[in-house]
Every structure is written in C-alpha cells, then in structure tokens.
C-alpha cells in the first residue's frame, strides 16, 4: 500500500508541475476545470446520489454554472485584482466562515446541512470558488509560482500537523469529525509554514514589513487548508465512507487530494488581491 501510495504521489506531482509550468494559463485552467468536474462527480456520491445518470447531471450542472461564471467575469490579465472576482471570493470566504461553525458543532449541525439538496448546494460553494481562485491566480504574471506556493503551504500544514500531532498531539481538534487531528498538530503545521516562509524570505532578502504580510497570508492559508480537510471529513463521516473515491491508487479520490485546496485557494486569492500592491 505504501509503495502504491508513493508511486501515485510521484506521478501526480510530476503531472501537476508539468501542466502548471508547461501549459499556457488557459490550458492549465481548462485542465483544472476537468479535475473539478470529476470532483463534482465524487461530491454527488458523498451527498447521497446513487444513480450514475443523476450524478452525471449534477456534474454537468456544476460545469455549466462554472462556465456561466467564466463568461460573466471574462478572462484578462490581472483579473484577480478586479472587483467582480474579489466580491465572489469574499462570498466564498464567508461561506467557509460558516463552515467552521458546522464542523465545530458536528453532528448536531447535520440537521442544517444533512439534507441531500443542501449538501449538493454545498458542493457548489466548495468547488466553484476553487476554480475561480485558480483562474484568478493564473491571470497574474506570477500565476504558476503562486499556485505552486498555495499547494506547498497546504502540504506544509499537512506534513507539520501530521508529525507534530503524532509526536505530542493530545488535545483533539475536532474529535467527532477527524479524531486524528489535534491542536498541537495544527500549531505544528503553522510552525512549519513560519519556518519555511521565513527561510525563503531570508534567502530572497525580503524586507521585514513585506515578510510580515507574507507570513500572515501563509498562515491564514494554512489554517484554511485544515478547514477544507475537516469539511470533507465531516461529509464523509456523515455518509459513512472512508474515501471520496478510488480513482487514485493508495490515495482514494480526487476530493481526498484537493480537500485542503478547496478552502486554501479562495482564502489565499482573496487576501492576495487585497494586499497585492503591498507584497
């Protein structure tokens, strides 16, 4: 199982990096749209849909709404800094603030979101803002580097949280959602982010005021990634499944790989759009 997991992880990493830096911006955005479409297929199952035809219809609805949003916003250089995308990202981040309360109060909160149609609507709020954030980041001159930075921040939060949690984790973060996560692990993930960002800033000779802003952005992004992970864990626990799918050997489904990014990317993109000219 470990060998299979490592091989799949390497293939995913190489494929992602190749697409990110070799494809033109619109090519990468289109590829990520396909990934999100498949994630919608998996989400439909977590929401309780069984029929392949109905699940396919939900996937098409998500794609259609995403296409309508893309048409409404258009695509141009630095679109992330425009008012319309920023407003939509603000709505998305407001949704994630509500999600914190639902995760914190699970299983009682399932009374509010446990119905199938509400869970399907939740899928729109989870997946579409991630697509918007990717498109917005890729519209910037530093787009590929910024997208990679978010992925690395999510990985740091996950790796730091895992090792510190295993070593000294005692206080459960959300025991009824993800019993393995601890507050110590959460702090460990934040510490990993601080160390790597600070070291990178020192290497690149970043001025102290800018370093403070980058650290704040990185830490908020790391915290958001934990929320994205917890939200999917909550949905899976309610559904009674371990993984969102089986398409990735040793890793489960697509949602299992991008859960942290679903929250991290919109949060990072919104804060970046507000601070862009100061970073």
How far apart are alpha carbons 262 and 146 in whole angstroms? Answer: 15
How far apart are alpha carbons 214 and 267 in whole angstroms? Answer: 13
Say if CB 165 and CB 188 are below 8 A apart.
Answer: yes
In tens, the pLDDT along 30-41 reads 999 999 999 999
pLDDT band at 1 (very low <50, low <70, confident <90, very high): low
Segments of the chain assigned E as strands: 172-174, 178-182
Task: Give strand pairing partners of 174.
Answer: 178
How far apart are alpha carbons 117 and 19 in whole angstroms? Answer: 35
Q: Global pTM?
A: 0.96
Cβ atoms < 10 Å from Cβ of 64:
10
In tens, the pLDDT along 228-260 reads 999 999 999 999 999 898 898 877 899 999 999
């Amino acid at each position: 199982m470990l060998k299979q997991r490592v091989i799949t992880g390497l293939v995913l990493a190489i494929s992602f990096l190749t697409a990110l830096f070799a494809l033109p911006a619109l090519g990468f955005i289109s590829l990520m749209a396909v990934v999100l479409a498949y994630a919608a297929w998996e989400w439909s199952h977590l929401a309780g849909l069984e029929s392949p035809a109905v699940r396919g219809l939900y996937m098409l609805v998500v794609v259609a709404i995403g296409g309508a949003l893309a048409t409404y916003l258009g695509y141009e250089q630095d679109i992330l800094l425009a008012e319309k995308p920023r407003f939509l990202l603000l709505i998305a981040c407001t949704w994630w603030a509500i999600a914190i309360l639902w995760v914190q109060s699970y299983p009682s909160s399932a009374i509010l979101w446990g119905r199938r149609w509400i869970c399907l609507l939740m899928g729109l709020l989870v997946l579409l803002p991630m697509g918007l954030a990717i498109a917005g980041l890729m519209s910037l001159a530093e787009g590929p580097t910024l997208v990679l930075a978010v992925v690395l921040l999510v990985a740091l939060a996950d790796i730091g949280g895992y090792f510190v949690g295993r070593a000294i984790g005692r206080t459960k973060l959300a025991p009824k959602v993800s019993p393995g996560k601890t507050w110590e692990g959460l702090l460990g993930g934040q510490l990993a982010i601080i160390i790597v960002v600070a070291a990178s800033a020192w290497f690149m000779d970043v001025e102290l005021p800018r370093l403070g802003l980058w650290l704040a952005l990185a830490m908020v992004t790391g915290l958001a990634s934990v929320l994205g992970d917890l939200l999917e864990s909550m949905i899976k626990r309610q559904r009674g499944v371990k993984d969102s799918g089986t398409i990735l050997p040793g890793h489960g489904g697509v949602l299992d790989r991008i859960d942290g990014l679903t929250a991290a990317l919109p949060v990072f993109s919104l804060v970046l759009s507000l601070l862009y000219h100061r970073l």
